[in-house]
Structure 1
Amino acid sequence: MQLQIIDKKVYRSRLNIVIVACIASLAVSSLAVSQTLIHFFPSETGSHFHWNLLGVVVSAITLVIVLTRLKTHPKMVEVAYVWDLKQSLNLIYRKSRKLLAAAEQGNEDAMLALHFSYEGSRQLWQLDDNTITMTSLNDAQSRLDGWVKDYNVTLDITRYHSDVLNAF
């Protein structure tokens, strides 16, 4: 995955539309499914918890399938990019302890993965207006910059690919 420039206003607007659409479709479809099941299979005891639960589960699964298929739609580009970015950052985060140890020892791939993580996190936090923890990110970036200087490494973020993480 490569970092891309995303218009924050467009992203927030489209994300809000996706959120509202998901909430509305989940509510309507789960009620429709559960009420249909209750109509055809009424319970003698009056408890329809299992039909209501099944309605929510079926609706959630359907929603995930629809979102996955709509991921390539032109109106979903920004939202899908952030979705993919979060998944990529999560992969790096799971290996962060090993990456930090390797980067401290001068491993260029580890430094590259950390650099991608820091730049991606910075972009993500700015898109989501989550700048509270930006100081800790800047501290981590400074530490990485020190290692880059110490080991005379040049990091090109465009060379990052998730296969780099396989070594860790």
Structure 2
Amino acid sequence: MQLIKINKVRYRRHLNLVIVGCIAALVIGSLAISQTLIALFPDESGSHFNWNLLGVVIASVTIAWLLNKYRTHNFMAEVVYVWELKQCLNKINRKMPKLKAASREGNADALLAIHFSYAGSRLLWQLDDNTIVMDELVIQQTELDNIAAKFNLTLNADDYDPRILKQF
């Protein structure tokens, strides 16, 4: 996965529209489906929990199907990219203890994965205006750069390949 420059304004606008659209579709869809089912199959006891639950499930599955179907649409490009980047960073974070141990021994792949994680996190935090922990990230990046210099390695986030995580 490559880190790319994201238009922050476009990303935020499209993300907000997708979120609002999903919420509206869930509310309207689940109510419409459950009320239709209740009208078609009334329950004498007055409990319509199963029909309401089925309405929510059907609306949720439909929304997930639509999001998956339109994930390649130009409108969704930034939203999908950020979602995939977060998944990639999550995979790295789950292996971070092993990566840090290997990086202290000079493992180039571990150093590269950590470097990509820091660069990706920096990109995400800037998109989300989450600059509170940016100072801590700078300290960690400096430590990583010192380790890389100790082993005469040059780290470039563009060289990262997710397959290198399999060895950790």
TM-score normalised by structure 2 residue count: 0.96
Inter-partner Cα distance in structure 1 for 2:56 and 2:140 = 42
User: Bigger CA drift: 122-131 or 57-66?
Assistant: 57-66
Counterparts in 2 of 1:29-44, with a 5 A limit? Answer: 29-44=29-44
- CA deviation profile, 1:118-155 (whole Å, cap 9, x unmatched): 00000001001111111221121111111111111111
Counterparts in 2 of 1:111-126, with a 5 A limit? Answer: 111-126=111-126
The answer for the alignment partner of 2:144 in structure 1 is 144
The answer for the alignment partner of 1:24 in structure 2 is 24
Aligned CA-pair RMSD: 1.0
TM-score normalised by structure 1 residue count: 0.96
Counterpart AA for 1:130: N
How far did 1:156 drift? 2.2
Inter-partner Cα distance in structure 2 for 1:41 and 1:93 = 49
The answer for the alignment partner of 2:135 in structure 1 is 135
The runs of at least 4 consecutive aligned structure 1 residues that moved more than 3 Å come to none
Counterparts in 2 of 1:3-14, with a 5 A limit? Answer: 3-14=3-14
SS where residue 44 of structure 1 aligns?
A: coil
The answer for the alignment partner of 1:85 in structure 2 is 85
The answer on 1:162 being equivalent to 2:130 is: no
Inter-partner Cα distance in structure 2 for 1:154 and 1:164 = 17
Q: Which runs of 5+ in 2 are unaligned?
A: none
The answer for the alignment partner of 2:55 in structure 1 is 55
Counterpart AA for 2:23: I
Q: Which runs of 5+ in 1 are unaligned?
A: none
Counterpart AA for 1:134: M
Calculate percent identity across the aligned residue pairs. 55
Inter-partner Cα distance in structure 2 for 1:39 and 1:147 = 68
SS where residue 155 of structure 1 aligns?
A: coil
